[in-house]
Structure 1
């Protein structure tokens, strides 16, 4: 399939009617090579999405570790985070983690729901080391803030997009929002951190999203802003299991890298306070060997299931 066909098919996702189900597949390899001895490995992977996130549902998932002796345990973190912890007494010269996930999104389905306490809780309002605002970010947040939280979010998204040029390699995972703003450049992670800093400076709860953009190579990052469910002009959505009967909040996703609301081109893997919470791969080991990471991934649309119940149509089919 040529690049132009991929682009056309991806753009077709924007015009699908409500009730359409879209199937996706994530195929990913995280490969480490070690140039010396390494023992007592404890590794953390955040690469498999929660079973449900708003209109997104995981159908199947697998994680295969190339070392047969590795022990894998799964943990659940805040915001539905799924964490794989891999432990290995002796690390081979090459260690691969292969991930495959199939999932589905429902056009017009519910947004991610939260308890109403998320609107005033410190967890999503308090700054983190990566999102602490400086004087410039604080002043921008005050100037851009509106009464409507969604209008505020749109303004913050556009501001982060216009003030941080996308320049690969210009920052790293330790770069703060204030540092990225001073440099005026960064990557999607930095644009998300800048938008988070603005939100929190304005008292608007928000969280960092780690995921994938269909048709893009590397992992992507964007922001979810938490607003009351049933804002004026927007109907209240049905409360999910576990939140029934409670006044609630919903998450609305914005991508400051592209200055737009997130849509069906986006697949969420994890959400947290900032990058540190949801880093796809991290860990520690003992030894003199240095580990070098190489990653490959592909996120593709498998099929589109029309709401009228017709036979599913491959995204590659052309009428």
Structure 2
């Protein structure tokens, strides 16, 4: 059941629950073999004032195998293996989380100073096009929320 966020008295809300459903679809120009894919889409059981209530990941491909484990941050990592993908594969991740106003929105001590989280990786580092776009935005827009919009 969807609720219009504008109809909620957020100042007096004690808790809020969310159900997030994400689907990822990959299309290949020709069949592939020995797929090994990693999904990092399920948050830790607890993060700040957020509690994970339930989660599920499914794969829409016969013969695919799912394995899961937790990383050092508590995220649930799903590894997907498939001997063959004819043309497409789709993953569906669902997670239900709850946030409570009475609980402090705190992260574990040292979380935000963890160097591993602050440094770009080969996958997240900005390339020249992103750097130019950031420079253009910085000179043409206000800071804060107006810049984000």
Verify same fold: TM over 0.5: yes
1:55 to 36, 49, 52: 49
Q: Does 1:123 align with 2:121?
A: no
Query: Where does residue 71 of structure 2 map in the other structure?
Result: 77
Residues 62-88 of structure 1: CA distance to partner in whole angstroms, max 9, x if unpaired?
Answer: 111011311211132232222111111
| The structure with more strand, counted as a fraction of residues | 2
After TM superposition, list the pairs within 5 Å mapping 1:68-147 onto structure 2: 68-116=62-110, 118=111, 122-124=115-117, 127-128=119-120
1:24 to 18, 22, 29: 18
- Structure 1: any 5+ residue segments left out of the alignment? 131-172, 186-194, 196-255, 259-319
Cα shift at 1:100: 1.7
Query: Where does residue 181 of structure 1 map in the other structure?
Result: 134
Q: TM-score, normalised on structure 1?
A: 0.38
Residue aligned with 2:108, SS: strand
Residues 145-171 of structure 1: CA distance to partner in whole angstroms, max 9, x if unpaired?
Answer: xxxxxxxxxxxxxxxxxxxxxxxxxxx
Do the aligned partners of residues 174 and 119 (structure 1) sit closer, same or farther apart at CA in structure 2, a change above 3 Å counting? closer
Cα shift at 1:38: 0.8
Query: Does the 8 Å contact 2:30/2:86 carry over to 1?
Result: no
- Structure 2: any 5+ residue segments left out of the alignment? 139-143
Query: Where does residue 281 of structure 1 map in the other structure?
Result: none
Cα shift at 1:121: 5.1
Do the aligned partners of residues 121 and 52 (structure 1) sit closer, same or farther apart at CA in structure 2, a change above 3 Å counting? closer
Do the aligned partners of residues 120 and 101 (structure 1) sit closer, same or farther apart at CA in structure 2, a change above 3 Å counting? closer
Do the aligned partners of residues 37 and 121 (structure 1) sit closer, same or farther apart at CA in structure 2, a change above 3 Å counting? closer
Query: Does the 8 Å contact 2:50/2:99 carry over to 1?
Result: yes
Q: TM-score, normalised on structure 2?
A: 0.73
After TM superposition, list the pairs within 5 Å mapping 1:91-240 onto structure 2: 91-116=85-110, 118=111, 122-124=115-117, 127-128=119-120, 175-176=126-127, 179=131, 180-184=133-137
Query: Does the 8 Å contact 1:129/1:176 carry over to 2?
Result: no
Residues 101-123 of structure 1: CA distance to partner in whole angstroms, max 9, x if unpaired?
Answer: 2221101312243234x576543
Query: Where does residue 141 of structure 2 map in the other structure?
Result: none
